[in-house]
């Protein structure tokens, strides 16, 4: 099998500008025999149709591309990989983002130092899609073991952490070993928690393969699993030593998973970057077609925002809570449907609609911003239907949210697109209002011309 390795002239700059052109060029080929791996799992597939909202999009000035205000230092090096540095109490680490970055995975790992063994942990479905690419990219860092587990949201539980830990123990992984997590958000969270717990902590590298994981969950060190009582209630802050983001891996992603990932990108625009939100409004259809330049910008910008936030508030004691916009509602929807109806991005999309309505109900979010938020979410496509669950049950589930204090609900709300904060003492009637009208809310609101 021939593998194309892309590169460009080495260069190193400190810049806040995002180049408009793709600098990559094909320079060499490599051939490698791949050993077969036994793969088995139960897979549950689902798709939903694309429904576009006919909205007029605003005309953007040349500077309105989300490029003017970068929150984290970005360095261009060989292959023009963007290196976003993230501060953490255990030491700073890098998020390497570039098309074809996985082809140099072994080289990136070698920069971290030597390890007694390398263990890749993934899922059968992901490994079928990207396993050969990962093995080629590891090169001399060829893994001592490839361990597969069921990465469905319903399996994001303590039992999966135990399963992975026992696999590592049987493979004789020690404190000098490296664990490489390859997959989506569930894989990153579960394998990250296993890495934090096994032998009280072994080195971790994240290789996210979904848009949700690439733009959000792989950065910031949050790991954990769900309980029947709520989502992500058990876990640890355990940053990876390295995160390698390759947008090319998104080519194998299903439409449903991809659209769910775009919901998280919309979130970044709402909470921190009005220009990013406007860019999405202007380029939503290109994003849905997975246009390379648009995806490069959306992915990098989201990572920059996440890096800035978690560098300032690693343990979610204040600022980092804004990353949970829409998640209080979304997590309740996931837990009350036993993690079987919604993918995470879909639940967050419903949650952001609820948060926008709640903000408007208490006089915080303007009607125009609510309309823009709902319209952009609807352009991603129809969501799995709202569940037949009482408001009381959803509110009870929301009380288990990590942001709750003294059994009081706290919500991240947006005063205007590009700004968000956490609010307490939100009237319960306003929450019920949002839950009642969110499933019924649709918009054909259009931007004014000019």
Q: Which residues are catalytic?
A: 200, 222, 264, 306, 316, 320, 324, 327, 331, 344
Give the relative orientation of helices 344-361 and 428-437 as an angle to the nearest 10 degrees. Answer: 130
How far apart CA 360 and CA 277 sit, in angstroms, is: 19
Question: What is the SS3 assignment for 237?
Answer: strand
Which of 74, 72, 86, 403 lies closest to 239 in space, CA to CA? 86
| DSSP state for residue 141 in the 8-state scheme | G
Within 8 A by CB and 6+ apart from 50, the residues are: 255, 288, 381, 382
Using an 8 Å Cβ cutoff, are 108 and 242 in contact?
A: yes
Place of tokens 């600022």: 319
Listed in order, strand segments (DSSP E) in 98-221 are 118-122, 145-148, 178-183, 203-208
48 with 381: CB under 8 angstroms? yes
CB neighbourhood size of 392 (10 A): 10
Enclosing H/E stretch for 346? helix 344-361
> Given 3-state DSSP classes, what are the helix, strand and coil percentages for the chain, each rounded to the nearest 5?
45, 20, 40
Query: HSE-up of 423 (CA within 13 Å, CB side)?
Result: 22
Distance CA 236, CA 242 (A): 17
Q: CA-CA distance, 144 to 177, in Å (whole number)?
A: 10
Is residue 274 within 8 Å of residue 263, measured between CB atoms? no
Q: Which backbone phi and psi does 26 adopt, to 5 degrees?
A: -75, 130
Distance in angstroms (rounded) separating the CA atoms of residues 130 and 19: 28
């Amino acid at each position: 099998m021939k593998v194309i390795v892309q590169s460009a002239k080495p260069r190193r700059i400190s810049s806040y500008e995002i180049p408009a052109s793709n600098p990559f060029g094909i320079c060499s080929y490599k051939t490698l025999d791949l050993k077969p791996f036994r793969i088995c799992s139960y897979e549950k597939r689902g798709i939903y149709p694309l429904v576009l909202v006919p909205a007029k999009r605003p005309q953007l000035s040349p500077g309105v591309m989300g490029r003017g205000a970068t929150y984290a230092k970005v360095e261009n090096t060989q292959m023009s990989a963007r290196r976003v540095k993230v501060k953490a109490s255990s030491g700073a680490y890098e998020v390497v983002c570039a098309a074809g970055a996985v082809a140099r995975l072994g080289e990136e790992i070698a920069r971290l130092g030597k390890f007694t063994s390398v263990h890749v942990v993934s899922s059968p479905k992901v490994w079928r899609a990207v396993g050969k690419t990962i093995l080629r990219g590891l090169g001399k860092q060829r893994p001592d073991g490839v361990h597969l587990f069921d990465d469905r949201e319903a399996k994001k539980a303590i039992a999966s952490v135990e399963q992975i830990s026992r696999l590592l123990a049987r493979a004789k992984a020690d404190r000098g070993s490296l664990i490489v997590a390859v997959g989506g958000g569930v894989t990153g969270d579960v394998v990250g928690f296993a890495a934090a717990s096994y032998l009280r902590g072994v080195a971790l590298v994240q290789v996210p393969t979904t848009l949700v994981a690439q733009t959000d969950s792989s950065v910031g060190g949050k790991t954990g699993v769900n309980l029947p009582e709520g989502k992500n209630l058990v876990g640890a802050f355990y940053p990876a030593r390295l995160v390698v983001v390759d947008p090319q891996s998104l080519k194998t992603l299903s439409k449903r998973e991809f659209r769910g990932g775009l919901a998280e990108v919309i979130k970044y625009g709402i909470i921190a970057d009005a220009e990013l939100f406007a860019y999405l409004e202007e380029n939503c259809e290109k994003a849905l077609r997975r246009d390379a330049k648009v995806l490069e910008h959306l992915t990098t910008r989201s990572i920059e925002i996440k890096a800035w936030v978690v560098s300032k508030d690693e343990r979610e004691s204040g600022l980092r809570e804004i990353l949970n916009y829409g998640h209080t509602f979304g997590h309740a929807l996931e837990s009350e449907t036993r993690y079987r109806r919604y993918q995470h991005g879909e639940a967050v999309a419903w949650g952001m609609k609820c948060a926008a309505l709640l903000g408007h109900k208490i006089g915080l979010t303007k009607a125009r911003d609510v309309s823009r938020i709902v319209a952009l979410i609807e352009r991603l496509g129809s969501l799995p239907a709202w569940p037949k669950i009482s408001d009381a049950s959803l509110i009870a589930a929301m009380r288990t949210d990590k942001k709750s204090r003294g059994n009081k609900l706290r919500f991240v709300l947006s005063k205007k697109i590009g700004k968000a904060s956490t609010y307490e003492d939100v009237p319960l009637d306003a929450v019920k209002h949002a839950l009642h009208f969110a499933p019924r809310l649709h918009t054909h609101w259009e931007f004014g011309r000019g």
